[in-house]
Amino acid sequence: MYAIIRAGGKQAKVEEGDVLDVERIKASDKVTYTPLLIVSDAGKVISDRAILNKSSVTAEIIGDSAGQKIDIFKYKNKTGYRRRQGHRQKYTTIKVTKITTGRATKSKAEKAEEPDAVVEATEEA
């Protein structure tokens, strides 16, 4: 099962056990995201907003890191104009621990028992 989440203004496809870098989060232990889309192992897609609002993707924070240094240099010829600037984006590393759906899932045994109960009720009548 995988889910699409929005983290730091960007979307990411995550599965349980995935480790990814997202823009810096000021939380200490765990983070919960509301998924934008969920695809189960059987290939069934859940995109209903009512179900997705009840669903969640839970991740634990592993640590903080900094991205690659970006150098910015502005220059205009024959005017003496030079500007140098740098930037280094801060990231938080998270590990996805659990993806839960808001839908009540039934086990295969419960699904197998339901049709029999309906048949028995119609035979008694």
From CA 95, how far away is CA 21, in angstroms rounded? 9
Q: Which helix (H) or strand (E) holds 22?
A: strand 19-23
Sequential pLDDT tens for the chain (125 residues): 899 999 988 999 999 999 999 999 988 899 999 999 888 888 889 888 888 899 999 999 999 999 999 999 999 999 999 999 999 999 999 999 999 987 655 544 445 555 544 444 445 54
Determine the 3-state secondary structure of 18 from DSSP.
coil
Give me Rg for the CA atoms of the chain.
24
Task: For 47-67, give the secondary structure using H, E and C.
Answer: CCHHHHHHCEEEEEEEEEEEC
What does the domain layout of the chain look like in residue ranges?
Answer: 2-124
pLDDT given at position 116: 46
pLDDT tens, residue by residue, 27-61:
889 999 999 988 888 888 988 888 889 999 999 99
From CA 18, how far away is CA 23, in angstroms rounded? 16
